[in-house]
Amino acid sequence: MTLNTLRAGVAALAIMAGATLPVMAQDLTIGLRAGPDSIDPHWSTLGSQAEALRHIFDTLVGVDENLQLEPALATSWEPISPTTWEFKIREGVKFHDGSDLTAEDVKFSIERIPEVTGPMSMTIYTKSVESVEVIDDYTLHVHTAGTAPSLPNDFIRLFVVPASIGMEVGNEEFNSGESAIGTGPYRFVSWEPKGDLVMERFDDYWGEAPHWERVVRKEIPDDAARVAALRSGQVDLINYVPASDYLTMQNDSSLDTFVSDSVYILNVQPVVRDELPQKVRVNGQEIDENPLQDLRVRTALDLAIDRDTLVRVVLEGLGTPANQLMPEGFFGYSTELGPREYNLDEARRLLEEAGYADGFEIDFTCTNNRVPGDSVVCEALAQMWSRLGLTVNAQALNGTVFFPAAAREEYSLAMSAWGTLTGEASYTYGSLLHTKDPELGLGAFNRTGYSNAEFDDLFQQARENLDDDARRELYEEASRIVMEDRALIPTVILQTVWAAPTGTLTFTPRVDQETLAYRITPVSD
Amino acid sequence: MIAFILQRLMQSVLVVFAMSVIVFVGVYAIGNPIDVLIDPGATQSIRDALIERYGLDQPLWRQYFTFVTNVAQGDLGRSMVYNVPVTSLIFSRLPATLELVFVAMFLATALGVPLGIWAGYKPDSFSSKAIMALSILGFSVPTFWIGMLLIMGFAVNLGWLPSGGRGLVAEFLGFRTSLTSAEGWSHVLLPAINLSLFKMGLMIRLTRAGMVEAMRADYVKFARAQGLSEREVVFGHVLRNISIPIVTVFGLELGSTLAFAVVTESVFNWPGVGKLIIDSILQLDRPVMVSYLVMVVILFVLINLVVDIVYARLDPRVRLKGEE
């Protein structure tokens, strides 16, 4: 075959391919880094799972792009006693099979979760529920074990399925589409694990009708492949543009980029237990005491972090300096805390005062594949601390290795990303900072051994307080305490980037990073 | 023949057994899969309940024993991540990989062997030298990089072929394949070329080496003296004599490509098993890892079995063990 006939053949193939795939203005194809693990909305708390299934199923309580609560299937909610929440269910909502939504379906959905949920257990959202009572078709009472002021926040991931599917159905029935019946703006067409999720517009949707008739969510985990798919026109929008491509795209007039803060903050976790799992060395000799127990040492570590450099140089501008464990505007974010200071001299002075004038040698372990930038920030921190005179052995590990070892408390100083996914403080503080207490179900992810009675007390009070303003103040006070204690040291809020061909789509990025087809519209033509 | 096949199958059972033990111990050494999967908002009691539910609190030997008992009953288990039976999960992805690998192996062999014959038949000609130079490129340049170049050239700049993904899939003779439509071919072409380059280089060099040596052999001289045409000499005698190493390498490459086409699959976003298995490893989804590796072992054993049988056909001097 000569080169010319080969060329002609390839061109012919390409034309035929084009002919069988008419690209219509009503179609939206999105290239995403990750997709769902199942179509069963009660299977997993995975972020990319909730993101995908939000198209098909609605949640009881909604959230806007800044994670502030808004009505969804529930039009209003209020506590009617310390242990009872009343939810008013929206009237006139239709499921994809034509049946009407009632309080019975919501009750069924809450009760279904413990029966079917998997290793990423959704019971974290229903753990405070004791029983659910249907008052009438459109009123639901949720009785909680103890006071649960954050119940509406927990229910932003409570997807509602019709009670008629029955308790027996599992992932197979959902994946095949048989039971994939929601009230969402799109109805399920097809999906297979790691493959494309195809959906069609649901015409009886209760909310604002979405623009796109047909949505295909393609899972393209490889960064380069995702960018190539966008550049070759195979997809209309991609998420998680890698930092290197972001720089190129900014000089490329054919592509638009959308940048947004995420909920993810990289936190340094200094272990403050009496004994460190990886001992600190001074002049090559392991020492028994734990320098991280000394507030002056932790403060020195904090002061030595140049967050502006981290953002500008290390993250190529894709980040914001973090001054506490949640982004601004979240429930419990303290406005009294200013930006964190960078002061190397003061840091050196504190270290000297603590008796480590000659520094020490410490192991520092991070994840390297969980969020964009985790491994580079890890290396940069090690260098920043070395200016204090410390020898920091930074090691960035795959999350598969990191998390089990972190759970076994094998690291002395670690860093990983944390996202306050519910938009309010109890989620983060109850898991990471409260004293480890299996009885109360608190401190499950407290790997540093941090324990502060004053903080615990404030947290307990807040957790029981149904008055929003009073609760907010308590959490803000708690935020201040942990930041003064340097219980965890926040570094940067990560930003993420979407990209689309110039002038095609309008789209407001969300802090929870969700790419929702029904919130995307074409630029008016 | 039958005894030979049985003996091979027995061997494979042993290998499968050893491999499953290694995977179990390996996953156990890394840590608890629940700690990778669990949501950070979970409480201690939720974590404990999960560990108990998946039997991960049991001693390793008992977990393994439960697994073996289930396998003996034909149940390879369910994926911890997708909660679907492992077999159906793997078989939903396998056709895509098979399709890609067979097109790639076909390209590698159908182009590689003739080019190698030519290069060995006329080792000093310019065209042969060009072929050899290209073959070096084929297996020395990294696959992922060539893949990106192919995408940049044919998908992004020229726009002739799609940059990734699998085309329209249709049912054909009970298989779900994309090779029945032009659109399907347009999707498979770039990844298959990418995957075939290394193997093509290998085939070319292997065939050429065999050719160069065989052409000096006495039987070639005799065949020529007999007055046979060059075509009959090359295809009737030489090719047959040099085909044993080619078949061996073909078998090995086929197996390893099927099992580990993952680089090409991820660059071209091909929905094959490679991506599935990598994700399973990252999430410590043990049932999927074990079952997949078991299948790979069986695959290798079967391919080698076929290769051995083909040897006997090609060279009457080769006798299979167990054959009278």
| Angle at alpha carbon of residue A316, lines to A312 and A321, rounded to 5° | 45
Nearest residue to A314 via CA among A393, A383, A222: A383
Question: Is A220 in Cβ contact with B164 (below 8 Å)?
Answer: yes
- B39 vs A17, A124, A232: nearest CB: A124
pLDDT of residue A1: 38
Lowest mean pLDDT segment, chosen from A385-399, A499-513, B67-81, B107-121: B67-81
Distance from CA of A490 to the nearest CA of B (A): 17
pLDDT of residue A463: 87
Whether residue A7 is predicted with pLDDT greater than 70 in this model: the reply is no
At A113, is the pLDDT very low, low, confident or very high (cuts 50, 70, 90)? very high
Average pLDDT over residues A10-35: 63
- B44 vs A118, A228, A444: nearest CB: A444
At B320, is the pLDDT very low, low, confident or very high (cuts 50, 70, 90)? low
Distance from CA of A388 to the nearest CA of B (A): 33
pLDDT of residue A300: 95
What pLDDT digit, counting tens, does each position of A250-294 carry? 888 899 999 988 889 999 999 999 999 999 999 888 999 999 999
Whole-angstrom CA distances from A448 to A10, A413, B47, B216 are 60, 9, 18, 74
Whether residue A13 is predicted with pLDDT greater than 80 in this model: the reply is no
pLDDT of residue A308: 94
Whether residue B65 is predicted with pLDDT greater than 50 in this model: the reply is yes
Residues of chain A above pLDDT 90, percent:
62
Residues 299-318 of chain B with CB under 8 A from chain A are: none
Question: Is A403 in Cβ contact with B35 (below 8 Å)?
Answer: yes
Question: Is B44 in Cβ contact with A438 (below 8 Å)?
Answer: yes
pLDDT of residue B174: 64
Q: Does B182 touch chain A (CB under 8 A)?
A: yes
Tell which wins on pLDDT, B144 or A97: A97
With tokens 């299934």, the residue in question is A53
Q: Does A194 touch chain B (CB under 8 A)?
A: yes
d(CA A471, CA A332): 8
Q: Does B227 touch chain A (CB under 8 A)?
A: no
pLDDT of residue A493: 94
At B177, is the pLDDT very low, low, confident or very high (cuts 50, 70, 90)? confident
> For residues A333 and A326, is the Cβ–Cβ distance under 8 A?
yes
pLDDT of residue A487: 95
Q: Does B95 touch chain A (CB under 8 A)?
A: no
Question: Is A14 in Cβ contact with B161 (below 8 Å)?
Answer: yes
Q: What are the sequence ranges of the domains in chain A?
A: 262-494
pLDDT of residue B250: 87
ipTM over the 0.85 cut-off = no
**Residue in chain B lying closest to A225 (CA):** B267
Whether residue B4 is predicted with pLDDT greater than 80 in this model: the reply is no
Nearest residue to A513 via CA among A197, A215, A240, A325: A240
What pLDDT digit, counting tens, does each position of A75-86 carry? 999 999 999 999
Tell which wins on pLDDT, A47 or A59: A59
Mutate to test the interface with B, among A21, A39, A113, A120 (most CBs of B within 10 A): A120
Q: Which long-range contacts (CB under 8 A, 24 or more apart) does B26-32 make?
A: B27/B284, B27/B286, B27/B289, B28/B60, B30/A400, B30/A401, B30/A404, B30/B284, B31/A401, B31/A403, B31/A404, B31/A405, B31/A407, B31/A408, B31/B284, B32/A404, B32/A407, B32/B56
Whether residue A22 is predicted with pLDDT greater than 60 in this model: the reply is no
Whether residue B188 is predicted with pLDDT greater than 50 in this model: the reply is yes
DSSP A265-302: EEEEEE--SSS-SS--EETTEE-SS-GGGSHHHHHHHH
d(CA A487, CA A434): 10
pLDDT of residue B318: 67
Distance from CA of B248 to the nearest CA of A (A): 29
At A20, is the pLDDT very low, low, confident or very high (cuts 50, 70, 90)? very low
- Cα A453 vs. chain centroid, distance in angstroms? 29
Distance from CA of A406 to the nearest CA of B (A): 9
Whether residue B145 is predicted with pLDDT greater than 80 in this model: the reply is yes
Strands A521-522 and A255-270, bridge-based pairing: unpaired
What pLDDT digit, counting tens, does each position of B227-279 carry? 888 888 888 778 888 888 888 888 888 888 887 788 888 888 888 888 888 88
pLDDT of residue A14: 44
What pLDDT digit, counting tens, does each position of A415-435 carry? 999 988 888 898 899 889 999
Average pLDDT over residues A303-310: 94
pLDDT of residue A8: 46
Q: Does A23 touch chain B (CB under 8 A)?
A: no
At A68, is the pLDDT very low, low, confident or very high (cuts 50, 70, 90)? confident
Instruction: For residue A183, give the amino acid letter.
Output: T
Residues of chain A above pLDDT 70, percent:
95
> For residues B170 and B79, is the Cβ–Cβ distance under 8 A?
no
Whether residue A481 is predicted with pLDDT greater than 60 in this model: the reply is yes
pLDDT of residue A57: 96
Distance from CA of B78 to the nearest CA of A (A): 11
At A133, is the pLDDT very low, low, confident or very high (cuts 50, 70, 90)? very high
At B324, is the pLDDT very low, low, confident or very high (cuts 50, 70, 90)? very low
- B276 vs A121, A194, A445: nearest CB: A194
Distance from CA of B6 to the nearest CA of A (A): 36
d(CA B203, CA B205): 6
Question: Is A193 in Cβ contact with B82 (below 8 Å)?
Answer: yes
Whole-angstrom CA distances from A58 to A55, A73, A133, B114 are 8, 7, 20, 60
> For residues B296 and B259, is the Cβ–Cβ distance under 8 A?
yes
Calculate the average pLDDT of chain B.
83
pLDDT of residue A24: 53
Calculate the average pLDDT of chain A.
89
- Correct CATH for A262-494 of 3.40.50.10490, 1.10.1740.10, 3.10.105.10, 3.40.50.300: 3.10.105.10
At A19, is the pLDDT very low, low, confident or very high (cuts 50, 70, 90)? very low
> For residues A218 and A229, is the Cβ–Cβ distance under 8 A?
yes
Q: Which residues of B touch A37 (CB under 8 A)?
A: 81-83
What pLDDT digit, counting tens, does each position of A197-245 carry? 999 999 999 999 999 999 999 998 888 889 999 998 889 999 999 888 8
pLDDT of residue A5: 45
**A:B CB pairs within 8 Å:** 189
Question: Is A232 in Cβ contact with B159 (below 8 Å)?
Answer: yes
Question: Is A220 in Cβ contact with B36 (below 8 Å)?
Answer: no
Whether residue A346 is predicted with pLDDT greater than 90 in this model: the reply is yes
pLDDT of residue B259: 75
